[in-house]
């Protein structure tokens, strides 16, 4: 039986290549040609907002003097921001059970790189607060390329979905349940929100004025880069990780074969050499 066809605005090859290069320059991520339909579907809303007839004319806007802000929006719309609280719990367990006891009494600074909409850095802050106290000597610096997700992260309001990994006592202690128009939502408690600093940062550049850190979470983002770019990004990050500090990457990511001063302690958990 024929399916009803939804009218879609296709993208020309020329317009796709223009946007592909723009996004590559801005993020370091090269979208393969297979992502043409995805690019068209994510950016279609901008044709409506700008009242432009097609992507070729839209690319003229991107090239114009007024195109700078629009290019930011393109980058925002093309980043993949999938995340949730206490994703890949093994890292939070390792932090609580291995890293924190070994640092007892010392200040601990964590960088959550590519923090998306905030669920990950708040999960880190919840772990630190639970182990070291709400007023303990710890801090979380969270960064992302996308301004849109950083705004969401600073608000700290989330749907009460995908909380399966959040320990019930953490939910009670650090989250406020929404009522009225916020029914079905939660807000991270203000005293925890204020312990996490959010800033815009592109992993392709050396972090300026940040660190040094004891722990870096850089999870589920390296997967989007080619191997040389991935290696460069980790090298830059390691410049702000203390010798003996810890690096967590996503469970499906690996730094295998790269020339980095890291010991692979267990899958996705690395420790920087003390001599580096």
Ligand X SMILES: C[S@@+](CC[C@H](N)C(=O)[O-])C[C@H]1O[C@@H](n2cnc3c(N)ncnc32)[C@H](O)[C@@H]1O
Residues that bind ligand X (CB under 6 A): 27-29, 79-83, 87, 114, 116, 120, 144-146, 149, 202-204, 219-221, 250
Is 144 considered catalytic here? yes
Residue 105's alpha-carbon distances to 27, 67, 230, 241, in angstroms, are 38, 50, 34, 19
- Smaller CB separation from ligand X, 12 or 202: 202
- Smaller CB separation from ligand X, 102 or 159: 159
Say which of 42, 72, 162, 187 is annotated catalytic: 42
Is 193 considered catalytic here? no
Q: How far is the CB of 219 from ligand X (least distance, A)?
A: 4
Task: Measure the CA–CA gap between 71 and 23, rounded to whole angstroms.
Answer: 9
The encoded tokens of residue 79 equal 């980043």
CB atoms within 10 A of CB 121: 28
Do 143 and 198 form a contact (C-beta atoms < 8 A)?
yes
Longest alpha-carbon distance in the chain: 68
- Smaller CB separation from ligand X, 46 or 232: 232
Task: Measure the CA–CA gap between 19 and 223, rounded to whole angstroms.
Answer: 20
Q: How far is the CB of 103 from ligand X (least distance, A)?
A: 23
Alpha-carbon torsion 27, 241, 84, 89, what sign?
positive
Q: How far is the CB of 51 from ligand X (least distance, A)?
A: 27
Say which of 130, 144, 193, 195 is annotated catalytic: 144
- Smaller CB separation from ligand X, 12 or 81: 81
Q: How far is the CB of 181 from ligand X (least distance, A)?
A: 27
List helix spans (H) across 194-271.
227-238
State which residue has the least CB distance to ligand X.
83
Instruction: Catalogue the active-site residues.
Output: 42, 144
């Amino acid at each position: 039986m024929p399916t009803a066809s939804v009218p879609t605005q296709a993208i020309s090859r020329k317009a796709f290549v223009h946007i592909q290069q723009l996004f590559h320059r801005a993020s370091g991520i090269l979208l393969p040609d297979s992502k043409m339909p995805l690019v068209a579907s994510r950016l279609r809303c901008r044709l409506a907002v700008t009242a432009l007839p097609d992507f070729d004319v839209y690319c003229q806007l991107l090239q114009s003097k007024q195109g700078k802000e629009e290019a930011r929006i393109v980058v925002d719309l093309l980043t993949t921001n999938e995340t949730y609280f206490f994703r890949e719990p093994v890292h939070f367990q390792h932090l609580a059970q291995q890293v924190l006891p070994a640092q007892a009494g010392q200040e601990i600074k964590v960088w959550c790189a590519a923090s998306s909409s905030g669920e990950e850095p708040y999960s880190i802050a919840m772990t630190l607060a639970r182990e070291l106290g709400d007023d303990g000597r710890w801090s979380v610096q969270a960064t992302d390329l996308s301004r849109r997700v950083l705004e969401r992260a600073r608000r700290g309001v989330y749907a009460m979905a995908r909380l399966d990994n959040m320990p019930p006592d953490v939910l009670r202690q650090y989250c406020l349940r929404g009522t009225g128009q916020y029914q079905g939502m939660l807000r991270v408690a203000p005293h925890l929100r204020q312990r996490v600093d959010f800033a815009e940062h592109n992993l392709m550049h050396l972090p300026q004025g940040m660190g040094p850190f004891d722990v870096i979470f850089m999870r589920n983002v390296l997967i989007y880069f080619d191997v040389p770019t991935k290696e460069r990004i980790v090298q830059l990050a390691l410049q702000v990780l203390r010798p003996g500090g810890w690096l967590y990457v996503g469970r499906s990511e690996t730094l295998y074969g790269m020339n980095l001063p890291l010991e692979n302690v267990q899958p996705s958990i690395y420790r920087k050499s003390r001599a580096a």
